[in-house]
Chain A
Amino acid sequence: MEININEASSKECLAYFQAKLDEEAWEAKKAGKLVCWSASVAPPEFCVAMDIAMVYPETHAAGAGARKASQDLLDVAHSKGYNIDICSYARTNLGYMELLKQEAMTGEKPEKLATSKAAYVPLPDLVITCNNICNTLLKWYENLAKELNIPCIIIDVPFNHTMPVARHNKEYIADQYRAAIKQLEDITGRAFDYDKFLKVQEQVQRSVYWWNKVATYAFRKPSPLNGFDLFNYMALIVCARARDYAEITFHKFADELEAKDAAGQYAFGAAENEKHRVTWEGIAVWTYLGATFKGLKNVGSVMTGSAYPGLWSLVYTPGDLESMAEAYTNVYINTCGSNRYEEFYKVVSNSKSDGMVLHLNRSCKLMGLLNNEGAEYVNAKMGIPFVSFDGDQTDPNVFSQAQYETRVQALSEMMDNNK
């Protein structure tokens, strides 16, 4: 599929570039180039500088979940011994990896792979992981490396139990960047391309700039941005921030939002349809994305705040490894409670939210186990209510639509009473 980028909408660009990234990974594979599977907030700068094609299992799993294709993959993982309590992104991906592995070993596509609605991506030649959003990513990528007998690049960003980020923490991460460069030189048999590395870093900064810019449209009241759209566009800040694909798409999206605002068009159409503004804490329920959106829309609640898209607000100075180290470790869920709650408060207050919806995500302990503490902190400062619901990012068996709707309706009533 080819499109005219200049004329295309941001939504068309999003679909186009997502498909293109998968195609490029296959082309790389066929051309004998390397393919790397990467954690979503691991730095892509090193691999992209070395012309390695990137594939992102979390985004792939989220896509599988949104297309109702995760259950088959979860079943494969379960049959291999993966407990149903493990993160469903990991299980979806490890199930998918198993099917690809079977295909590679037998030359035949297993039925579940042939019929899967999940995007078809190639097996990796190496993996890169980073634990700034959870230590689960360390265990998951250990298993990928072991199962496929391939190299694993680890960028360990230690939990910041005190803030600001300590000097020895930044130095440790910068030293690992140097170790990763050496590892890549060994894997590729080529000298590291420092010139291209700098260009890639600069590209990441431009992508991040436009990503952050898009998020600011939800600060306007009424909001021209429907916050759920960030969940969709997130695919490119994850998978293409080191390319101009993300920058092009987000720039267009920002322009569209500016035009929408100027025309008096908002997230739910007319301004009066925005009855409440809410912050959503946690990962999306990909398997019920439409249902979770409609549940809020039905009571006139626009999602204007979410800390989750801000995980990719990776602002640093190109050419400065310690600055880059700080950006990758300074992710709010990788910091102590006091900093984490304050960052959450900034999201809620900047988005002018009237309430908070907390996703108690069974797959994500790090995002879930301090939900209440964060919400209570904000409640003490702003006096706004919150509700929590049980869900999961890609395991469809955990979410209960009835519970969700009851909770968001209750929140709506509390927000009404608060006015």
Chain B
Amino acid sequence: MRTVEEIIAELKAIADDPKKAMEDYKKETGKGAVGIMPVYCPEEIVHASGYLPMGMWGAQKKAISKARTYLPPFACSVMQSVMELQLEGVYDNLEAVIFSVPCDTLKCMSQKWHGKAPVITFTHPQNRKIAKDAANVFAREEFKLVKEKLEDILDVRISNRAIKNSIAIYNENRAVCREFSDVAAEYAAVIKPSDRHAVLKARWFMEKSKHTALVKELIAAITATPAPEYKGKKVVVSGILVEPYDVLDIFAENGLAIVADDLAQETRNFRQDVPEDDDPLMALAKAWNEFDGCSLATDANKPKGQMLIDAVNKYGADAVIVCMMKFCDPEEFDYPILIQEFEAAGVRNLQIEIDQESTAFEQVKTRIQTFAEIL
């Protein structure tokens, strides 16, 4: 049986080198990869084609220079990074790239692609609650277009049966990721925030059943011994993502464990399963319209604050840390509502800024250190 450290090292190596993960997949299957731009692509359709869905979440500490020609400084940090990478040709080996467009920056990004791979764009419906039935029909039609365009580009046929099978594989992976997140909370003394992130990030670059198997192995290795007592404080994080690793290390250095997250890169993808439906594209459509708690999924009831408060209570957390992606206006709109709700519920909270490009972290360090002291 491998140790916890060994399994995490394997997952971290995958998270840190997506290119190698893609090459390994190609060697093994003879098939390439399809790029998945953030956020909430019905990846199961790609998985069902036999190609590897490959997340595109920018890069850590990537200096931005070429992208400045195509994007003003007020485009968000992840998109700056994605633009830089596409101009460097990093994505040129992808068979296709799929864009969703739930924010204005993504709409524009989908129309200014400079890589070699063909782009498939689809639109999520946003009137998801009051016009739910119509939104389901619309989303299904958009997903059908994604399927047809993929079939055309990849020269494969994607059957309903294959999509159903992929949904089952993804739902199993979602369940195991939820379980891992809970185990990481229980074993906060063992699993550092950066380890937790690496395990969950690796799922973006792996065939999901392989990720599931590795995470199951990891859970078994972690829980083989009783959870040591954790003496630090516990926090819930919310935002698009928390990177680079340096930021997560600041959490650890100040005795803060991440016991749950509400990140677009992590838990928001596996908080809910895709429901059962005879029509797999309709199942994926329903999953989007039932999905809650993301700034990019419109809901005038704005349930995110209560969801975070519930997570704080469930995991006995001491606070919420809102990790604000620089220039992400959908997230910035949620913040003033969140702080009112946190205050009303007596939940302590802190906002830090996330900029993938950053190489200096003194400000985040000072804020987290001061916050940790008052907890």
Contact = CB atoms under 8 A, between A and B. Distances in A.
A365 B123 contact: no
A142 B303 CA distance: 11
Interface in B246-301: 295, 298-301
B300 A156 contact: no
Interface in A124-182: 131, 134-136, 138-143, 145-147, 152-156, 158-159, 161, 166, 168-169, 171-172, 175-176, 179
A369 B295 contact: no
Given A134-B104, A156-B298, A179-B127, A139 B112 contact: no
Given A136-B104, A139-B333, A168-B141, A176 B74 contact: no
Nearest to B122: A161
A258 B107 CA distance: 40
Contact of A369 (B75, B101, B102): B75
B333 A142 contact: yes
A373 interface: yes
Contact of A81 (B74, B110, B299, B335): B335
A161 B337 CA distance: 32
A154 B132 CA distance: 12
Interface centre among B74, B103, B332, B336 (most CB of A within 10 A): B336
B244 interface: no
Interface string A76-100: 0000111101110010001000000
A365 B126 contact: no
Contact of A154 (B127, B302, B332): B127
Given A156-B125, A175-B134, A146 B108 contact: no
A399 B200 CA distance: 43
Contacts of B123: 158-159, 161
A152 B134 contact: no
B339 interface: yes
Given A139-B333, A154-B298, A161-B123, A369 B141 contact: no
Nearest to B99: A161
A370 interface: yes
User: Looking at B122, B125, B299, B333, which has the most chain A CB atoms within 10 Å of its CB?
Assistant: B333
Contact of B110 (A82, A83, A161, A372): A161
A147 B141 CA distance: 34
A183 interface: yes
B108 A369 contact: yes
Nearest to A182: B130
Contact of B130 (A81, A135, A179, A373): A179
B25 interface: no
A277 interface: no
A85 B332 contact: yes
A172 B141 CA distance: 10
B40 interface: no
A252 interface: no
B111 A370 contact: yes
Nearest to A341: B111
A365 B131 CA distance: 27
A360 B108 CA distance: 14
Interface in A298-334: none
B134 A336 contact: no
Interface string A359-381: 01010011011101100000000
Interface string B61-73: 0000000001110
A158 B335 contact: no
A295 interface: no
A147 B122 CA distance: 31
A110 interface: no
14 contacts: A81-B339, A86-B332, A139-B334, A143-B336, A154-B131, A154-B298, A156-B126, A161-B121, A161-B122, A175-B134, A179-B130, A362-B74, A366-B104, A373-B112
Q: Which 10 A-B pairs have the closest CB atoms?
A: A175-B134, A81-B336, A337-B111, A369-B108, A139-B333, A161-B121, A152-B300, A158-B123, A172-B138, A156-B127
